[in-house]
Amino acid sequence: MYRTYFLLLLWVLPGMLLRAQDNPFYRLITLPIPEGIVLEGGGLTTLPSGDIALVTRHGDAWIVENPYMEGNQPPHYRRFASGLHEPLGLAWHDGTLWVTQRGELTRLWDKNGDGRADFYESVYRWPLTGNYHEYSYGPAVGPDGQLYVTANVGFFNPEWWRGQSEVPWRGWTLRISPSGEMEPYAAGMRSPNGYGFIDGEFFYADNQGDWMGSGGLVHLEKGDFAGHPASLRWAEHPQSPLQITQADIFAQVDPQLTPEGAPPFKPENDPDGAVLPLYELARELPGVKTPAVWLPHGVLGISTGQFLADTTEGAFGPFAGQVFVSDQGQSKISRIFLEKVDGVYQGASFGFFDGFASGAMRLSWGRDGSLFVAQTNRGWGSTGREPFALQRLVWTGKIPFEIQAVRAMPDGFELSFTRPVDKGTAADPASYALSSFIYKYHPVYGSPAVNLEEGQVRYAEVSRDGLKVRLVVDGLREGYIHELRAEGVRDYTDGQPPLHPTAYYTLNRRPQGDTLAIPAGARAAHHHHPAPAEAAPAPVPTPRPRPAGQLAKNQTTLPAHWTEGPDLTIRLSTKPGLQFDVQDMTVEAGTRIRLIFNNPDDMPHNFLLLRPGQADKVGKAALALGVKGMAMDYVPEMDEVLYHSKLLQPATNQTIYLEAPSEPGVYPYVCTYPGHYVSMRGVLRVK
């Protein structure tokens, strides 16, 4: 009884996540891993027997027998191969395992049948420079029997961090035949960690970074360009199927950029307010592919892992045919509904399951329709604190109340629910809220959500069976991401709101056709927006005015009353692996400090000094800023934040001035970029 009440509370309180161990719909089972095996999942596939095979980034291939732990027996791990070079993908095809190493597609044969690979066949090799970021992923096996491999751009820091393609075919998808003929298939990848087939079509999933405002799922046809221009260095190569060049892209983005010996793409060259979304480029240049569905950064993840279409025909719950996407940094899985409008893929993304033990990387269906999730924090950290894990997600047979799908309509959306809705709440336009935004297409790492606009749900009509709601809205914008919130809608049976009440619909094409006539006397839309559920910060206190002489929270000039200058200069840097280089410092109360905060790392970071014991609270509040977080430098407006830097792009710095608190104590400092606050911390001891 107490437990049920607790669960209800979790659902009702905005901003709270249903904890993995309390989820009544999906059970998370952890597979024990014997001492001594470092199982950082880089590739995962299910064998015809139902056993699973897994490769680790350290170079081993393992066969996991009895992964279902039948007869209460633990799984058994058998090393199948070793010495592979950072393999990041694995497939079963034509009777053997195929693995993508950094520089090669390799077929693993067990010719003598002793359960260990005895012949590593080099199917196709590609050049590498040795740059750390030249990861390679795959293969995905197509319906054509061809093997698809995706390749990162390298990441270099000549003046500032940027993706470069120093050797063919960094930043490309390659199509390779089993006998080793390669054809370059598509370009514009940055960090294509997700790859695979949905309905027989090739898709890939990228990560936020330079030129990539946020992660997303992209449908790729031969000759397509997905956005990262470094790969276009090889666009005019005789084998290239691309019709566009780097010069075409740069001419649209900034005429000062040139293809060869391009000037430094410095963040400061990106003027404030300049917005060029990728979809506008796609209008100018055929062959430019925008994501079918964007995954809003910090909301539905921060580092896209793998995606997998639900081919279980209902064995995994009410989402057959949809797509699940893992996230390494936030240890979660999101869900995507895809549809085709005018021949173009688009659709909605939703939250699905949070709380994996480590960074969720690779996905594979078990023979019973459960989902295996191979995990690693990759030394970068993840919300799940284990360095690695292997878990299995099993549907319990209970149907969660969720928005099952969102379909675009000429004048709005049609929502399907997994269970009948309460018609009173579902027919009330005030139960919904709509806004839309987009990301910049620019050389800078990531993008804030820009061009934000509130929309309006004008009318809601519930189907007779209570499973569908037709919405008529104002504010549809082609090319934009529409945040549609439905937390006012209640389940007919138990009165609960949807478990994940927010959908992010990417409207690549607005459908043509009939609009819905709003009946006279229909309930008018109220100007009322329900509190955001999934991404709600704690109530924001109005910042108290600071007394004269007191410093701003982000004081970047020498305070006028510091006539003697600072008492102390502290240099603080970020370092790889989500760390500050100094994690413990001690100062006298009231010390006037000049803090030179430097970010030489390859991703953005910030610095927030907090009141004692508030690191978790502030970290969570920053995460809850959702799509608006980037524009706020992920600094929540709350009294717990004493001082902060701005969000520093890679290879930039900022000097701020602050006064050590007058109260002695241990004051934490954290980076609140999504996913970082768990590990990226230090303490300032005030004596």
**Residues 311-350 vs Cu ion: string with x where CB under 5 A?**
----------------------------------------
Interaction between residue 219 and Cu ion (CB under 5 A)? no
**How far is it, in rounded angstroms, from Cα 668 to Cα 672?**
12
For β-strands 388-395 and 119-125, DSSP reports them as unpaired
CB of 368 to Cu ion, least distance (A): 40
User: Residue 671 CB, nearest distance to Cu ion (Å)?
Assistant: 3
Question: Identity (one letter) of the amino acid at 682?
Answer: G
Residue nearest to Cu ion (CB): 671
Pick one of 62, 279, 441, 673: the residue that binds Cu ion (CB under 5 A). 673
As measured in angstroms, the least distance from the Cβ of 606 to Cu ion is 7
SS3 label, residue 579: strand
Q: Give the torsion sign (CA, 673, 536, 476, 463).
A: positive
Query: Taking contact as CB under 5 A, which single stretch among the options 453-461, 527-535, 553-561, 598-606 is the one that binds Cu ion?
Result: 598-606
Show the binding pattern over residues 72-101: x = contacts Cu ion (CB under 5 A), - = does not.
------------------------------
CA separation for the pair 435, 485 (Å, rounded): 9
Beta bridge partners of 371: 365, 393
Task: Tell me the per-residue interface mask from 551 to 590 with Cu ion, x by CB under 5 A, - otherwise.
Answer: ----------------------------------------
Question: What is the SS3 assignment for 251?
Answer: helix
Nearer to Cu ion, 380 or 562 (CB): 380
By the rule CB under 5 A, 671 interacts with Cu ion? yes
CB of 103 to Cu ion, least distance (A): 31
Instruction: Tell me how far, at minimum, the Cβ of 428 lies from Cu ion, in Å.
Output: 41
Minimum CB distance to Cu ion smaller for 174 or for 680: 680
At its nearest, how many Å lie between Cu ion and the CB of residue 212? 18
The alpha carbon dihedral of 550, 556, 560, 565 has a sign of positive
CA angle 641, 643, 644 (to 5 degrees): 95
Percent helix, strand, coil in the chain, to 5, is 10, 40, 55
Vertex 312, ends 347 and 332: CA angle to 5°?
A: 60
Q: What sign results for the dihedral spanned by CA atoms 423, 424, 429, 434?
A: negative
Binding flag, residue 297, Cu ion (CB under 5 A): no
Contacting Cu ion (CB under 5 A), which of 676, 677, 682, 686?
A: 676
Between 365 and 445, name the residue whose CB sits nearer to Cu ion: 445
Q: How far is the CB of 373 from Cu ion (least distance, A)?
A: 25
* CB nearer to Cu ion: pick between 193 and 649: 649
Choices 33-41, 92-100, 419-427, 677-685; region in contact with Cu ion by CB under 5 A: 677-685
- Window contacting Cu ion (CB under 5 A); options: 200-208, 400-408, 536-544, 605-613: 605-613
Provide, rounded to whole angstroms, the least separation between the CB of residue 157 and Cu ion. Answer: 17
Cβ proximity to Cu ion: between 61 and 671 the closer is 671
Between 25 and 673, CB nearer to Cu ion: 673
Only one of the segments 79-87, 110-118, 368-376, 601-609 lies at the binding site for Cu ion (rule: CB under 5 A); that segment is: 601-609
The SS3 assignment for 626 reads: helix
Q: Which is nearer to Cu ion, 605 or 611 (CB)?
A: 605
Number of residues that bind Cu ion (CB under 5 A): 5
Question: What DSSP character marks residue 4?
Answer: H
597: contact with Cu ion by CB under 5 A = no
Cα(463)–Cα(223) distance, integer angstroms: 43
Give the integer Cα–Cα distance in Å for 508 and 300. 19
Cα 136 to Cα 89, 132, 259, 283, 610: the distances in Å are 8, 11, 25, 30, 40
Query: Please, which residue, 643 or 673, has the CB nearer to Cu ion?
Result: 673
Residues 105, 88: Cα–Cα separation, whole Å: 11
Q: Tell me the window of 61-69, 475-483, 604-612, 623-631 that interacts with Cu ion (CB under 5 A).
A: 604-612
For Cu ion, give the closer residue by CB, 534 or 633.
Answer: 633
Q: How many residues does the chain have?
A: 687
Nearest approach in angstroms of CB 646 to Cu ion is: 13
Minimum distance of Cu ion from residue 679's CB (angstroms): 9
Buried/exposed code over 269-299 (b: 16+ C-beta within 10 A; e: otherwise): ebeeeeeebbbbbbeebebbbbbbbbbbbbb
- Using omega within 30 degrees of 0 as the cis cutoff, is the peptide bond preceding 169 cis? yes
Residue 605 touching Cu ion (CB under 5 A): yes
Token look-up 């209460």 returns: 72
Binding range to Cu ion, per CB under 5 A, among 142-150, 359-367, 630-638, 679-687? 679-687
CB neighbours (10 Å) of residue 21? Answer: 8
Query: Interface with Cu ion by CB under 5 A: which range of 316-324, 427-435, 633-641, 666-674?
Result: 666-674
Grouping H, G, I as helix, E, B as strand and the rest as coil, residue 592 is: strand
Q: Which helix (H) or strand (E) holds 42?
A: strand 41-46
CA–CA distance from 523 to each of 432, 461, 519, 526 (Å)?
A: 13, 10, 9, 9
Would you count residue 486 as binding Cu ion (CB under 5 A)? no
Amino acid identity, residue 545? Answer: P
Select from 357, 360, 647, 680 the one that contacts Cu ion (CB under 5 A).
680
Query: In whole angstroms, what is the distance from residue 407 CA to residue 346 CA?
Result: 9
Site membership for Cu ion, residue 646 (CB under 5 A) = no
Part of the chain binding Cu ion (CB under 5 A), chosen from 272-280, 442-450, 480-488, 678-686: 678-686
Q: How far is the CB of 641 from Cu ion (least distance, A)?
A: 15
Q: What is d(CA 167, CA 90) in angstroms, rounded to the nearest whole number?
A: 24
Told to check if 669 binds Cu ion by CB under 5 A, we report no
Distance CA 34, CA 55 (A): 16
Candidates 100-108, 609-617, 650-658, 673-681 — which segment interacts with Cu ion by CB under 5 A? 673-681
* Closer Cβ to Cu ion, 378 or 605, answer by number: 605
If binding is defined by CB under 5 A, does position 392 make contact with Cu ion?
no
Residue (362 or 605) nearer to Cu ion, CB: 605
Query: Residue 518 to residues 470, 491, 510, 637, 664: CA-CA distances in angstroms?
Result: 11, 25, 20, 41, 64
- Which residues would be at the binding site for Cu ion (CB under 5 A)? 605, 671, 673, 676, 680
